[in-house]
Amino acid sequence: MLMTIFRSRLAHLAVMVTLLMSTRSAIAVPVMPAIRQVSTVGAQLTSEVANREAAAIEVQTGTFISLSIVKSGFDSPIFVTHAGDSRLFIVERTGKIKIIKNAAVLATPFLDVTSKVTSAGSEQGLLGLAFEPGVNPDRFYIYYNEPTHGNIVIERYAVSTNIDVGDAASATPLLQIDHSVYGNHNGGWMGFGRDGFLYVAVGDGGGGGNSACTGSGGQDVNGAQALQDLRGKMLRLNVVGQLTYTTPVSNAFADAAPEVFAIGLRNPWRDSFDRQTGDLYIGDVGQGLREEVDVLRIATAGANLGWPQREGLQSYANENHCNDSGRPRTEPILDYGHDGGNCAITGGYVYRGVQYPALGGTYFYADYCTGKLWSARPTGAGYSSTLALDTTLNISSFGEDVSGELYVVNLGGSVYALKATTLLHSSFLPAVRR
């Protein structure tokens, strides 16, 4: 997902397109400095800062998406979430969690684990954060790479008497997963499902292709399809009220590690629950051809999401001859190719907020390398995707606040709110093309 594993993006001249409308309404879309030319159809664009811009594209009849900056100045931000109230928690890959409260970034970090986290590898660092359900929860969980071997650590903390500060001394390690051979494909997302269990997305062990079948370093035992290997999996843990964790009996792989909920993932970098349906959406980064979005319907354990026999909706070469678990495969709901510089999906969220009713049920996702942001909606035959924004951001994550409004995180240091403008009589708007 992060900088060194992706293609460099070509630098081009920035463009500023302004379409005057008789209503004199406008959509302001501030993003990071433009590095390539984009095409625009249908909406007026302005810039809050002279060197920031993006293209607004009609995603539904009369509805346009834009981004509005919330805060900048973060150090490699990689996730944004909430704790059951109006605060936003910003996870920095380098090891700090910061809070935006009452429109200001608090001076004291909520948690600083810089000394116990390695971010030396481009995909390593403090990668995930999840609060136990409820308002002002007492406990939270982080996911990071430790510095000695790069192994994945899942740890629990308590919130101090000051709800804006975590208790660093309360660290309780729950699980450590061997990730000592390669620095990439760490996964990193965590979240609580409607069932109250903690879901944890773990990458396949790293390297290129299906390298986890080569036996490199003596640790690799068929990776994503190996039922006893925690890598390349979605885990499900019972942690609420526990000293450490137990495993739900419904995890469904009786012959597997009991933590395993689903198998066949490559690098499930950013995922989310639909807060209305409880379904789990997984953005799984592909190898060289396809990026995919998988959906696990609520309470559906035991899925095989295909890697490394499948990459997106296509067969994968499987050059290292990884064993297939033999479990039936669940195909992704959508995938896309690497044309135009696309290279790595950043999974998003289904919009369930209240500010923009027209977006209800729309799933948003992006590509890290190109900055393209899509919206997808279910159709009779599956899902139909529309390019919603063509930005110049390195989108490292989406996020959701307590009300279901969505946010976009730029690894370059900023957090944006996703906005929508619905224009009446949009069919009468002229179009501008560059």
- Does residue 7 form part of some domain? no
- Does residue 86 form part of some domain? yes
- Does residue 47 form part of some domain? no
CA nearest to 223, candidates 205, 199, 201: 205
Q: Is the peptide bond before 308 cis (omega within 30 degrees of 0)?
A: yes
* pTM attached to this predicted model: 0.85
Phi and psi at residue 218, in whole multiples of 5°?
A: 75, 5
Partnered with residue 397 across adjacent β-strands are 409
Rounded Cα distance, 89 and 80, in Å:
5
Q: 174-178, 216-220, 288-292, 411-415 — which is least confidently predicted?
A: 216-220
- Does residue 49 form part of some domain? no
Query: Mean pLDDT over all residues of the chain?
Result: 83
433 confidence band (pLDDT: 50, 70, 90) = very low
DSSP code for 132: P
- Does residue 292 form part of some domain? yes
The CA-CA-CA angle for residues 28, 33, 39, to 5°, reads 65
HSE at residue 116, side-chain half, CA atoms within 13 A, is 16
The CA-CA-CA angle for residues 61, 62, 65, to 5°, reads 105
Cβ-based burial of 301 (10 A; exposed 0-12, middle 13-18, buried ≥19): middle
Residue recorded with tokens 């986890």: 212
Looking at residue 14, its pLDDT comes to 32
CB 91 within 8 A of CB 83: no
- In this structure, the strands spanning 382-390 and 363-367 are unpaired
**Predicted confidence (pLDDT) at residue 189 exceeds the cutoff of 90:** yes
Residue 174: left if φ>0, alpha if ψ -120 to 50, beta else—which one?
A: alpha
Rounded Cα distance, 89 and 99, in Å:
5
What count of other Cβ atoms lies within 10 Å of the Cβ of residue 191?
Answer: 20
Partnered with residue 372 across adjacent β-strands are 390
Rounded Cα distance, 225 and 334, in Å:
21
pLDDT digits (tens, 9 = 90+) for 260-281: 999 999 999 999 999 999 999 9
pLDDT digits (tens, 9 = 90+) for 91-132: 999 999 999 999 999 999 999 999 999 999 889 999 999 999
Rounded Cα distance, 108 and 32, in Å:
26
**3-class DSSP assignment, residue 212:** helix
Looking at residue 222, its pLDDT comes to 57
Looking at residue 217, its pLDDT comes to 41
**Predicted confidence (pLDDT) at residue 6 exceeds the cutoff of 60:** no
What count of other Cβ atoms lies within 10 Å of the Cβ of residue 35?
Answer: 14
pLDDT digits (tens, 9 = 90+) for 346-393: 999 999 999 999 999 999 999 999 999 999 999 987 899 999 999 999
**Predicted confidence (pLDDT) at residue 142 exceeds the cutoff of 80:** yes
Helix H or strand E segment including 224: none
CA nearest to 121, candidates 235, 207, 219: 207
Rounded Cα distance, 379 and 356, in Å:
20
pLDDT digits (tens, 9 = 90+) for 7-44: 333 333 232 323 223 222 222 322 222 222 222 222 22
Task: Work out how many domains the chain is built from and give that number.
Answer: 1
pLDDT digits (tens, 9 = 90+) for 198-246: 999 999 988 887 666 654 444 444 579 988 899 999 999 999 999 999 9
- Does residue 429 form part of some domain? no
**Predicted confidence (pLDDT) at residue 157 exceeds the cutoff of 80:** yes
Phi and psi at residue 428, in whole multiples of 5°?
A: -95, 0
Structural domain span for residue 338: 70-417
Rounded Cα distance, 271 and 364, in Å:
11
Output 312 or 2, whichever has higher pLDDT: 312
Rounded Cα distance, 86 and 89, in Å:
10
Looking at residue 317, its pLDDT comes to 79
Report the chain's terminal Cα–Cα distance, integer Å: 31
Q: What is the CATH number of the domain that holds 340?
A: 2.120.10.30
4 confidence band (pLDDT: 50, 70, 90) = very low
**3-class DSSP assignment, residue 105:** strand
Rounded Cα distance, 109 and 126, in Å:
14
- Does residue 42 form part of some domain? no
- Does residue 23 form part of some domain? no
62 confidence band (pLDDT: 50, 70, 90) = confident
Rounded Cα distance, 138 and 106, in Å:
20
420 confidence band (pLDDT: 50, 70, 90) = very high
Q: Which residues contact 20 (CB under 8 A, 6 or more apart)?
A: 44
